[in-house]
Homo-oligomer: A and B are copies of this chain.
Amino acid sequence: MIGSVRPQVDGGRYAAKATVGRDVVVRADVFVDGHDRVGAMLRWQADGESWRDVPMEPLGNDRWGASFMPERPGLHRFKVTGWVDAFATWHSELVRRLAAGEDLAVELQVGATLVASAAKRASGQDRTRLKEWAARLADAAPDEQAELATAEGLTALMARWPDRARNAATSGGSPIWVDRERAASSAWYELFPRSASPVPGRHGTLHDVAALVPSLAELGFDVLYLPPIHPIGRTARKGPNNAPISSADDVGSPWAIGSEDGGHTVVHPDLGTVDDVELLVEELGTHGMELALDVAFQCSPDHPWVSEHPDWFRHRPDGSIRYAENPPKRYEDVYPLNFETDDWRSLWDALLGVVTFWMGRGVRIFRVDNPHTKPFAFWEWLIDKVRAIDPGVLFLSEAFTRPRVMEHLAKIGFTQSYTYFAWRTDPEALRDYLTELTTAPLVDYLRPSLWPNTPDILTEELQRGGAAAFRARFLLAATLGANYGIYGPAFEHVEHEPREAGSEEYLHSEKYEVRWRDLTSAAGMRELIRRVNATRHAHPALQQDASLTFHRTDNPMILAYSKRDARSGDVVLVVVGMDHRYPQSGWTDLEMPALGLAWESPFTVVDDLDGSTYTWRGPRNFVRLDPTHAPGHLFHIEPPGLAGATA
């Protein structure tokens, strides 16, 4: 029997996620009735290629494990095969009979038959050697029995030619979607290109954005994400602070997409041209970065599709098109698309065309706006189509909605997912939430992206906590999450004033206005960002989430956690102060094995935030965190032998 196969999503109905060049760790229960020994094999394939076999190892209690490393992005499958291993069964009994002093003559003849049939399966030299062994077992003299029963050469030889015929069972093929490396680890920076001008009063352009790239690369970001860059509608355009009425100077919301200048495949004339997007992609590429564009499938009333395809929208009984609303909130500048229109094939094709248009300009990452308000079936279809063209295209799901819906979007294909991280401010709630995100079943298919802020989310904690809160949330996001991002300009400048009390909207939100900022004033935050991102790039431990382990401390306002890269043994240990006002001190209670250390081992921790070094020993170590000085410690661990060299 084969059961409890991992990784598997809903019994293999959806693909689990994996990454090129990283181990896919497979586990399964493999067992039979009775006392027979079993053997087990992991079989895997890249789509359309042949199956490859990896022998599985017993882990105890009928659990077996093996791993494989996919070499390219795309769909893969694996199965687990188990069978009764007659030779191993016979051999383990033989060894016990020998110990009990039994005569083995008859049993060695049983073994001879097993070896003779293995010889028939074998080829080359092995075949000849197995035939010789069969003959020796059949004709063993009494004084040879002990030697033959324990001969290791035979066991190794037989293991190469297993008889998989008896009681064989195979699990159903489990799909695994393999992404390129950036899917698993990325630091995102979001900015509004119209605010990118170095000259106050001038509308920013994509050229201005390109000029910022070297500094973003120097900060260590991997992805630059731009809100929609398309023409913005005039009809019902919103004014500053989401005012229902706008003046001729107001720029409107970039999410009110489409004007007489065009729709989703056109660049806003004030920002530049489609060619400028290609140039930006190129500039980012020379700095090891990528561009992420916003996919917001909705239209302003002035979008060309409104007149060309009125049937792509919902109408009210009075004939008017339904604007977006979530009563009593109204978004008169936005018409949702009707994905269930009779003409849905043309609509869906047009939307796919938007994505492939930008793919043609070199864009391979898309941040999808509110995917949960569109049909699951649409996204499953679209992502499949896109991946057939380029399996390296990544989609970030911006679904701040109910957990089951967020999870389902990840199941049907979204590469990364926004999370509730921003609102998990209580230390215990944060620990519980991150534990849920980084353990089964979620860890098998949902890659969390942690954002301390977005243009829609200025949390109460950031409003009240000052720069110390910003620093702590940054350290948490960038080290708890292999994938994270910030709405950068507002974050670096510690912008914390809400539109009104009780609101999470920014005052003078960039969603409705162009903003200019003095970049030099962000120096302090930038230095922290630079150091943390440098540590992320230097330490594979921070480039994955599955190993996240929380450690106890005796002060609830001190959060300690570590990550460990299984292959290299690299470890990062983070200690964060959750009080943004007063210093906190306390003692750690480290789970030493999670750090790859013996329980009472001495070790050296080096803080990458300020270069300080401490010599610790065993689980209990004193820490003191002053939020006015630093958000916490970002330690890498040096093994005991290197302690002297570092000090």
Given A62-B402, A106-B317, A402-B61 in contact, is the A93-B33 Cβ separation under 8 Å? no
Q: Across the interface, do A61 and B404 meet the contact criterion of CB distance under 8 Å?
A: yes
Tell me whether B62 and A374 are in contact (CB under 8 A).
no
How many copies of the chain does the oligomer comprise?
2
Contact indicator B1/A10 (Cβ below 8 Å): no
- What residue in chain B is nearest A10 (Cβ atoms)? B3
- B326 and A100 form a contact (CB under 8 A): no
Whether B97 lies near A327 (C-beta < 8 A) is yes
Chain B hits for A110, CB < 8 A:
316-317
Q: Which of A64-118 touch B at CB < 8 Å?
A: 93, 96-97, 99-100, 102, 106, 109-110, 113
Report yes or no: A373 in contact with B317, Cβ–Cβ below 8 A. no
Among B35, B316, B403, contact of A373 (Cβ-Cβ < 8 Å)? B35
How far is the CB of A442 from the nearest CB of chain B, in Å?
13
In the bound complex, how far is the Cα of B324 from the Cα of A93, in angstroms? 13
| Contact A402 B33, CB 8 Å, known A328-B99, A328-B100 | no
Q: State A34–B3 Cα separation when bound (angstroms).
A: 35
Query: Smallest CB–CB gap between A277 and chain B, Å?
Result: 30
Answer whether A33 and B99 are a contact pair too, CB < 8 Å, given A62-B405, A327-B93, A404-B3.
no
Q: Does A376 contact B (CB under 8 A)?
A: yes
Of chain B, the residue at the smallest CB distance from A93 is B327
A376/B35 contact (C-beta < 8 A), A109-B317, A110-B316, A317-B109 known: no
A583 at the interface (CB under 8 A from B): no
The closest CB in chain B to the CB of A377 belongs to B33
Task: Looking at the assembled complex, report how far the CB atom of A210 sits from the nearest CB atom of chain B, in whole angstroms.
Answer: 37
Q: Choose from B96, B99, B326 the contact partner of A35 (Cβ within 8 Å).
A: B326
CB of B33 within 8 A of CB of A373, answer: yes
Minimum CB–CB distance from A608 to chain B (whole Å) comes to: 39
A372 within 8 A of B: yes
**A375 CB-CB contact with B under 8 Å:** yes
Q: Which listed residue (B35, B62, B404) contacts A62, Cβ 8 A?
A: B404
From A412, which residue of chain B is reached at the shortest CB distance?
A: B1
A31 in the interface (beta carbon within 8 A): yes
A408 within 8 A of B: yes
Q: Which of A294-344 contact B (CB under 8 A)?
A: 316-318, 326-328
User: Complex formed: what's the CA distance from A405 to B316 in Å?
Assistant: 61
Partner of A405, one of B31, B318, B327, B404: B31
CB pair B372–A328 under 8 Å, yes or no, is: no
Binary contact readout A10-33 vs B (1 if CB under 8 angstroms, 0 otherwise): 110000000000000000010111
When distances are taken between beta carbons in the complex, the residues of chain B under 8 Å from A109 are 317
Residues 1-57 of A at the B interface (beta carbon under 8 Å): 1, 3, 10-11, 29, 31-35
Minimal beta-carbon separation of A136 from chain B (angstroms): 16
Chain B residues within 8 Å of A34, by CB: 372-375
Q: Which of B106, B327, B375, B408 contacts A96 (CB 8 A)?
A: B327
Question: Contacts of A405 on B, CB cut-off 8 Å?
Answer: 31, 33, 62
Residue of B62, B93, B408 near A1 (CB, 8 A) is B408
**Residues on the B chain within 8 Å of A316, using CB:** 106, 110
Contacts of A62 in B (CB 8 A): 402-405
Instruction: Report A503 CB to chain B, min CB distance, Å.
Output: 18
* Closest chain B CB from A109 CB (angstroms): 4
- In chain B, what residue has the closest Cβ to A375? B33
**Pairwise interchain contact B61-A328, C-beta atoms closer than 8 A:** no
Whole-angstrom distance between the Cβ of A374 and the nearest chain B Cβ: 6
A109 closest partner in B (C-beta): B317
Is the pair A33, B372 in contact by a Cβ cutoff of 8 Å?
A: yes
Scoring A residues 404 to 424 as 1 if CB is less than 8 Å from chain B, else 0, what string do you get?
110010000000000000000
Query: B404 contacts A328, CB within 8 Å?
Result: no
Q: Are B100 and A327 in contact (CB under 8 A)?
A: yes
How near does chain B come to A329, taking the closest CB pair, in angstroms? 9
Are A102 and B328 neighbours in the complex by a CB distance under 8 Å?
Answer: yes
Report chain B residues within 8 Å CB of A372: 33-34
Q: Output the nearest chain B residue to A326 by Cβ-Cβ distance.
A: B35
Considering residues A93, A326, A403, A404, which has the most beta carbons from chain B within 10 angstroms of its beta carbon? Answer: A404
Known A110-B317, A317-B110, A408-B1: A328·B96 in contact at CB below 8 Å: yes
Whether A318 and B106, one on each chain, are in contact in the complex, defined by CB atoms closer than 8 angstroms, is yes
Cα distance A372–B113 in the bound complex, in angstroms? 27
Q: How far is the CA of A326 from the CA of B317 in the complex (A)?
A: 81
Contacts A/B (CB < 8 Å), 6 sampled: A29-B404, A31-B404, A33-B373, A61-B403, A62-B402, A106-B318
Other A-B pairs, 15, CB within 8 Å; known A1-B404, A31-B408, A33-B374 = A3-B404, A31-B402, A33-B373, A33-B376, A33-B405, A34-B372, A34-B375, A35-B326, A35-B373, A61-B403, A62-B402, A62-B405, A102-B327, A106-B317, A110-B316
